[in-house]
Amino acid sequence: MSNFNSGNFKIGPSIVAYKGTLLGGTKGGVKISIDTDTYEVTCDQSYGQPVRKIPLSVKIVITMTMLEVDKGLEQLLSEDKLSNALLGSDLLANGGELLLTPINSNDSTGYRFPNAVLDVNSNVDLFATELHSVTLKFTAEADVNGTFLQKVNVA
């Protein structure tokens, strides 16, 4: 048990910045889903069992519920409205840096997605008895250096 470090347990919300704009704090945490597609190489001698597994693509989806509804919605709107100007546009051309910084002072590890693209699918909850919130979803695309995700020290 000498390698046990309770500092490795992370808890708490994050501060979110996108394209240099502070969006505010999350309700709870942030969900990062990493999914890869692979190609399995087989041969007759291996009786159909894979002898190699080659990654072909990586998809990283970052989902968070923001408590600052207006700032979250501003990312989805153009000139204070959501219009059909969005239709047919290249969403990948509008990517930017997404930075997640933990609020917990015991956590000095943040996460940087250098080319995150905002997914226009979102949920806005305007509750009568709870805090209003907006759920934002981003997809991390590789930047010019091939980087999807980077750990950063935020201490």
Q: Which domain holds residue 20?
A: 6-153
| pLDDT band of 77, cuts 50, 70, 90 | low
**What is the Cα–Cα distance from 36 to 97, expressed in whole angstroms?**
22
| pLDDT above 90: percentage of residues in the chain | 39
Indicate whether 132 belongs to any domain: yes
CB atoms closer than 10 angstroms to residue 42: 12
Count of structural domains within the chain? 1
- Which tops the pLDDT comparison, 29 or 9? 29
Task: Identify whether the C-beta of residue 103 lies closer than 8 Å to the C-beta of residue 25.
Answer: yes
CATH code for the domain of 98: 2.30.110
Average pLDDT over residues 36-60: 87
Indicate whether 147 belongs to any domain: yes
**What is the Cα–Cα distance from 132 to 126, expressed in whole angstroms?**
5
| Residue whose entry in the numeric block shows the structure tokens 């509750």 | 127
With a cut of 70, say whether residue 51 has pLDDT above it: yes
At 98, which helix (H) or strand (E)? strand 96-102
- Which tops the pLDDT comparison, 83 or 32? 32
Indicate whether 73 belongs to any domain: yes
Indicate whether 103 belongs to any domain: yes
pLDDT tens per residue across span 104-153: 888 888 999 999 998 887 777 877 777 888 889 999 999 999 999 999 99
Indicate whether 1 belongs to any domain: no
